[in-house]
């Protein structure tokens, strides 16, 4: 029992250190504070997949009136998130299904127009900037289409190769 407790404490301590590290990368003045707008990025860089609504919900709990977030508050809610394993990764096949759902005729690609329409007009809409960034990498310049199987593998491989830390 005591050992189990110690194991859990050790786990919590380790998780807290990871959170602190990620937080401090965004803490420009080293004063244990970050801009609330960066919280989504910090949560995601810790291996979590929240959607925007979930980020906003979490932020609402900890954001100060001046728009900043203190480390201690972030630590409190984020440790909980990681212990409860919330915002789990999206399995690869699920992402593939999602692209397929946008590919009406099941031809293996999505046209630029369709992609822009779906992602900027539906769901948690992309900003102009996000859309442009995605298109630069995703589109086949010859055909102006997105071959989602290739695109997904490219991103996934890239991601696990260079950045494999997980909580």
Chain residues in the site for other proteins (CB under 8 A): 14, 17-18, 21-22, 24-26, 29-31, 33, 40-45, 48-52, 88, 90-91, 93-95, 97-99, 101-102, 118-119, 122-126, 130, 133-134, 136-137, 155, 158-159, 162-165
For 53, the token pair is: 């609504």
Closest CB to other proteins among residues 1, 106 = 106
How would you label 46-70 residue by residue, b for 16+ Cβ within 10 Å and e otherwise? bbbebeeebbeebbeebbeeeeebb
Residue 48 CB, shortest distance to other proteins, in Å, is 8
Residue 79 CB, shortest distance to other proteins, in Å, is 15
Q: Which residues contact 18 (CB under 8 A, 6 or more apart)?
A: 46, 167
Closest CB to other proteins among residues 1, 41 = 41
CB 136 within 8 A of CB 146: no
């Amino acid at each position: 029992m005591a050992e189990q407790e110690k194991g859990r404490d050790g786990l919590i301590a380790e998780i807290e250190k990871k959170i602190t590290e990620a937080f401090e990368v965004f803490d420009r003045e080293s004063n244990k504070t970050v801009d609330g707008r960066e919280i989504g990025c910090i949560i995601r860089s810790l291996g979590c997949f929240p959607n925007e609504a979930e980020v906003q919900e979490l932020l609402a709990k900890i954001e100060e009136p001046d728009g900043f977030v203190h480390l201690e508050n972030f630590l409190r809610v984020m440790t909980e998130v990681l212990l409860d394993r919330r915002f789990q990764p999206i399995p690869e096949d699920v992402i593939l299904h999602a692209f397929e759902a946008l590919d009406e005729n099941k031809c293996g690609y999505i046209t630029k127009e369709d992609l822009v329409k779906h992602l900027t007009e539906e769901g948690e809409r992309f900003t102009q900037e996000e859309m442009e960034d995605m298109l630069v990498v995703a589109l086949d310049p010859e055909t102006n289409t997105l071959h989602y199987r290739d695109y997904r593998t490219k991103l996934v491989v890239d991601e696990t190769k260079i950045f494999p830390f997980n909580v």
